[in-house]
Amino acid sequence: MSTAVPKASETAQREVKDSTDKNLTSQPSDDVQSAPPEVLLTQMITGSLGAQAVYVAAKLGIADLLADGPKSVGDLARAAGVDPPSLYRVLRALASCGVFTEHDDQVFDSTPAATLLRSDSPGSLRDLAIFMGEDWHWQVWGHTLYSVRTGKPAWKQVHGEDVFPYFAANPEASGIFNRAMTSLSNLAIKAVVEAYDFSGIATLVDIAGGHGSLLTSIMNANPFLRGVLFDVPHVIEGAKENAAIKALSSRCDLTTGDFFVSVPAGADGYIMKHIIHDWDDERALQILSNIRQVMKSNASKCSSHLAARNAPPPNTKTFSHVRVSTLRVSCRQSHRTVLSRRGLRKGRRTARREKTIYHFSFWHLAGKPAVFI
């Protein structure tokens, strides 16, 4: 049986090589380097204000209210049940950044950026904006200094328990988190599906796959493929409501468990997306060991990183590696060390979609392509 290989052509790989090397480092982008230092630093210092403004608009569903055309701030405030002058100040600030546009008489309309805050928009980022701004999440980032001083998770300091037990005990927060993770998956799904040839894989397991958006997209593009969605029980309960999961029920199994204990055995391919960097080296090694023990000798795995070219400062790609579960910085060297300790050797590919470059890291096991996402 053949193993999965990337479909990206050598020409496409050469085309993105230079920018790939740049994006995989922690060096500032050209945009960051060209900005006056006082402008750059001020943007970073006040960045939380913009994030909260976007959160407020997303939480109140302002973009949904503007779906059928411009509305006055009074109409918007009545529909959202909030104070008109206060809402006006938030929307005016967002309009100055290109999120919404303001007309005469305090009338607001949508923009391409605002459209991404609609709940029904393809590629919507509304759930991600809500997740980043919710008080129970926002407080954790306010304790970053605690993590830097102690090396301990800020989440547990704030909430008294680790992040995933917290979600298990708080269904509303868990739903927001899982919908936000689906939003993140949607940013990379098309590139993953187009970049890889899954024809050598009969059964693919998505480890900690959430509500299954990535797995079902791969399965829809590869009708020969069987899938196994693996996650903790309360997440799988939510996945059962996913229409894409229901449509693929004849060849997609839903399995619960704890990846620190064991994972589904005997598949041809295993996928993880945004998982390993959530954990310290010891626990990351445990996850990898459990997968290594049950892999077929010709099994495949895949890893992808999303980096937007020409993005405005700050370099959010680097900030995204400060994870909410630990608020500890992960880096490529740490990932390389952890993976190599399980006999995996690294390769790399890239794919381009419009102005975005996707980085795919391959980890080879006994000469076979191994991929972690």
pLDDT of residue 239: 93
Q: Which amino acid is at 163?
A: V
Strand 203-207 versus strand 226-231 pairing type: parallel
User: The tokens of 99 are what?
Assistant: 């999120």
3-state secondary structure of 22: helix
Query: Are domains 5-28+170-364 and 46-133 of this chain identical in fold?
Result: no
Q: Residue ranges per domain, the chain?
A: 5-28+170-364, 46-133
**Catalytic site positions:** 277
pLDDT tens figures, 234-261: 999 999 999 999 999 999 999 999 999 9
CB within 8 Å of 81: residues ≥ 6 apart: none
3-state secondary structure of 146: helix
Q: Tell whether the model's pLDDT for residue 104 goes beyond 50.
A: yes
User: How much is the pTM?
Assistant: 0.74
Q: Tell whether the model's pLDDT for residue 26 goes beyond 90.
A: no
pLDDT of residue 282: 84
Domain 5-28+170-364 architecture? 3-Layer(aba) Sandwich (3.40)
pLDDT tens figures, 273-305: 888 777 877 888 888 888 878 876 655 555 444
pLDDT tens figures, 305-351: 433 333 344 444 444 444 444 444 444 555 555 556 555 555 555 55
What CATH number does the domain located at 46-133 have?
A: 1.10.10.10
Q: What is the DSSP letter of 104?
A: G
